[in-house]
Amino acid sequence: KAIIKKSEFNFIFNEIKINKKINYKNKKIFFLFYFRKHKNKKYYFLKDFLKKLILKKLPIVIIGDKLNLKGLKNCGYISHKKVTNLLHKTRYSSVSNENIFNFFTIDCINNNVKLLIDKKSYSLIKNHKKYFLNYDFKKNNLKKLNI
């Protein structure tokens, strides 16, 4: 118990260094999603969610593995610098439930990108909820995203 009291959890959030020069209203990419085909990644919600965004003709960028949906821009695997440049222009992204405390999350926060996260994972975040938007991907209510 003494060790736990002295320990710091979610230390990844120490890397937050928000770029305050980035104006949220001027962001041209509506949604950037890091997609990776992997047995541990569960993107059950992704296609339906993206199809709804595509119908609204919103700019959507995918990095990582190619996702075959018409209306998306697939960038593939790109350098961290290019990812950061894209995030400067992005309004929303999503957090993977398998690891919500990752470097991509920090990159998004540092670039003023709002992160969509499901209810279960949202409950794990204690002190940094202002960066996350509790989003029910099953209901998929786009009004919550100001569309």
pLDDT in tens, 112-142: 899 998 887 887 777 678 889 988 877 877 8
CA neighbor of 104 nearest in space, from 33, 38, 10: 33
In eight-state DSSP terms, residue 121 is H
- Cβ-count burial of 44 within 10 angstroms (0-12 exposed, 13-18 middle, 19+ buried)? exposed
- The answer to whether residue 144 scores a pLDDT higher than 90 is no
Q: CA distances (Å), 57 to each of 53, 70, 90, 122, in order?
A: 7, 11, 15, 28
pLDDT attached to residue 147: 74
Note the residue count of the chain: 147
pLDDT digits (tens, 9 = 90+) for 4-63: 777 766 666 666 677 666 666 678 999 999 888 876 665 666 778 888 899 999 999 999
- Can you list the positions of beta strands (E) in 19-138? 29-35, 60-64, 73-76, 90-94, 114-117, 132-134
Concatenated DSSP letters of 47-61: HHHHHHHHHTT--EE
- Rounded Cα gap, residues 124 and 63, in angstroms: 26
Of residues 96, 97, 129, 99, the one with CA closest to residue 114:
129
Give the confidence band of 2 by pLDDT, cuts at 50, 70, 90.
Answer: confident
CB 74 within 8 A of CB 66: yes
